[in-house]
Amino acid sequence: MKNAVILCAGAGTKLWPYAQIRCKAMMPVSNKPIVAYSVDALNNLGFDNIVIVGSRFIEEMCSYFRDAKNVTIISDDKPKGTAFSLLRASAFIDGDFLTLYGDTIVTEADLKALIEKFGESGENVALVDKIPDRSSDRIGCRIEDGYIESVWGHSRDESTHFFGGFAFKRDFLDVLQYNSRRFTYTEVGMMPPVEGYLEISIGDEMKRGMKLCAVESSQRIYDIDKPWHILEANAEINRMRCEALTKNELAEGASIDETAVIKGFVKLGKNTVIGKNVIILGNIIAGDDCEIINGAIVSGGVVIGNRSKVRNACFIEGCSTVGNDCIVSHAAELEGMILDRVYLYHYMEWNGVIGENTDLGAATVCGSLRFDDSITIQNVKGRREFHHGWGDAVFLGDYCRTGVNAIIMPGVKVGPYSVIGAGVLLNKDVPDNTLIYTEQNLIEKKWGSEKYGW
């Protein structure tokens, strides 16, 4: 098998505020776009024809993969669903093929198991993982005796697994043109949108007699659908990457000052420096031309991008990610993930995700624990969402700013191109392109020595 199709044409609206300026599949996790994990795994497995079907912001994908000779990017200008996006790729496929979702991270080992099962069985095969949360939040399936027994759309309790990818025979492409765009595999009371989901075609063909083998993943499949899924995947991938270190790996020009305390192993890119009085509390990875200096404290599992500066008694919590060209300085505290060109200064504290080109004012802080110790009920496209951790973080979009002493409460999401002014106590989501500031009432009274009895 040498063909693979990665479906990236979805709008990604549930990932707000991070799909407003980028294709959802290009959202970075551990400093690498989600879709790049699939491409890298397929390259390692010897695939020489990888077709990516995109739509919104496809230009960023074209730029990222411009040197990949085995990657073809095509546009689905008016997406009608994953089935029709896959159908658009048919002209670029000359044999059996894998189909993957662009917002899903699957390990190379599990893709290899999917391919091997396809070769052994001679049948179409689905790679599945157990549903980690509520089955009503996703399209799922039920397995029986090694086969997909049924497909369910946002079932209340019928689904046990969800799809992470497929290995199809070439003739499966022929059935996609008959996709009705009506998801009938639902329970009474469910209200699916009119959209050509690939799972509709799979369910229809199963009714017509097609058998679909099931391969259960050996490692977690990350389906990144909502903002807190970014944090969850980022932390786990950072942990796995850093735990793989068994010795220090220093590229040309990298150095560690003799006063630094290193309680683990470090992987440093070219010319990266760990300076005086730095404390490293576990294994970390840093890119090229970084500075980790002046008493910075970095916990284990942290990944730092190229040309970033971590310095001046700042603290980075375990399994966090610092993007490229970032500054974390002046006793700032970070837990979570910041994208490229984010500046954190002057005694601020952050728990969550910060989009690109964002500057936080001095002493900006966010809450990570509610007063009642319960979880924050999130709102996604008007629907209440009950997350299982991570959703109490704060999610700040791209090209944002905060003023001095801004306070952002647990679970708040802020759209891109927005400003949260000085002294604001923010306890609600903020739309894109919005300025929030507070007006202060000043009281003026006479005061002086007579107030002290003189």
| Average pLDDT per consecutive 10 residues, the chain (454 residues; last block may be shorter) | 95 94 96 98 97 96 96 95 96 96 97 97 96 78 95 89 97 96 90 94 96 96 94 96 97 98 98 98 98 98 98 97 97 96 93 96 83 74 76 93 94 96 95 95 91 84
CATH of region 3-225, choose from 3.90.550.10, 3.30.460.80, 3.40.50.2000, 3.40.640.10: 3.90.550.10
| Short-list 86, 93, 96, 151, CA closest to 122 | 96
What pLDDT does 267 receive? 98
Residue 264's CB is within 10 A of a number of other CB atoms, namely 17
Does this model's pTM top 0.85? My answer is yes
Per-residue pLDDT, 378: 79
Q: What are phi and psi of 295, to 5 degrees?
A: 75, 20
The pLDDT value given to residue 136? 67
| Closest listed residue to residue 54, CA positions, set 29, 15, 28, 19 | 19
Say which CATH class 230-436 falls into: mainly beta
CATH 3.90.550.10 range(s) for the chain read 3-225
SS3 of the chain: helix, strand, coil, percent, to 5: 20, 30, 50
Which residue intervals of the chain bear CATH 2.160.10.10? Answer: 230-436
Q: Using alpha carbons only, how large is the chain's radius of gyration in Å? A: 24
Amino acid letter, 118? F
**DSSP label of 416:** S
Q: Which two tokens stand for residue 131?
A: 């549903």
What pLDDT, on the 0 to 100 scale, is given for residue 135? 56
Rounded to an integer, what distance in angstroms lies between the CA atom of residue 14 and that of residue 127? 24
